[in-house]
Chains A and B, each alone.
Chain A
Amino acid sequence: MAKRKAKNYNHHTLVPKHEKLSEKQKNDLLKEFKCNLGELPKLLATDAAIMDMNPKVDDVFKIHRFSRTEGISVFYRVVVDE
């Protein structure tokens, strides 16, 4: 597939907010859940929601999305390349 031009999809109402974690936040997260990067849910580097945020492999994104059980729910995903 031809590489599409990076476009900011992050402001669309249907795209939950994605936020890149800093190195420190990332380490805190891994400590909190006592896990390594391989155990986190994955996110493709080519995902439209993060295309404009210059994602690199092993970056962790914090996703704020709406959930019927808890209002705004927080989810984390690690960028993979495949």
Chain B
Amino acid sequence: MRLFSSATRLLPAALALLFVVAIFHIGFGAKAIALGDIWQAIWAFDDRNFDHVVIRQMRLPRLLAAMTVGASLSVAGALMQGVTRNPLADPGLLGLLSGASFGVVVGAAVLGIDSDSLIPVFAVLGALAAALLVAAISFFAPGANSRAMLLLAGAAVSLFLAANVSALNLLNEEGFASFRVWLSGAITTDAAKMLPWCLPWCVIGLAVALFSARQVTALSMGHKTATGLGVDTKKLSLRLLFCVVSLTAASVALVGPLGFVGLVVPHATRLVVGSDYRHVIPFSALFGAIFLLIVDLVARTVLSPVEISTGVVTSLLGAPLFLVLIRRVL
């Protein structure tokens, strides 16, 4: 089913929706701030005014982080679903979120790396190792390359890495305290600190994804068809692996592992724009950004003045949607 006949006609509407949601994200929070102050905070920032600090140094970094992570995870999920031709593929179910988390925990908590610039690198290494492990298991195990085997391999690797993270937690509970909120997937104001180091990975990943969109459409029709259409599937797969790993790892380094975004948003996008990845990828990025902005707004305001973790909200929204998808797909 496709709701819009022309995706290009939808683009201005999607951008306008993103703009409106971003305005709401900036305008609403646990602290009520007058519209005039919001305007001043943006155009005439005064660091002695706490309302200005809330807008510029707390809500704005969260806005950027939510948009970056929402777009990145959604595009990563869309690519994975296209390449594997598995509608249930996403960075969480295939072990990349756990791999990136494990990489960050090993780097920061075990090796004591405290340089912000190196955190995404450890996340990339962890996600890459997890992706290769899942690919190897699903390739060599009995029933190789089946949808179920890929998901089972992803689940096994995810559980294995999560167990390792738990073991590290038990070995050093105190040192681990600072990771607990992050491991639940939380967009916080201190995303500003990591944003400069994570944003380049995301921008490059998104650019490569957009550049490869036409070939992904061919690949989503099967390797033989793609080869027949002149696509070098091996090169493309490697490029997309880099793309998915960098998008996922940078997102994890920024806000921790956020589940369901990469699964639900691409499906919703396909419902709206069809299965041409020249449309799926840019619209997944847009809808992912919108989705996570709404999620973060809910997390910040629904129990105000208490904040709940963004990961809790994505799971609450994503789990039922995931069940609906399973019913449709399996």
Partners in one complex: no
Residues of chain A having any CB pair with chain B under 8 Å: none
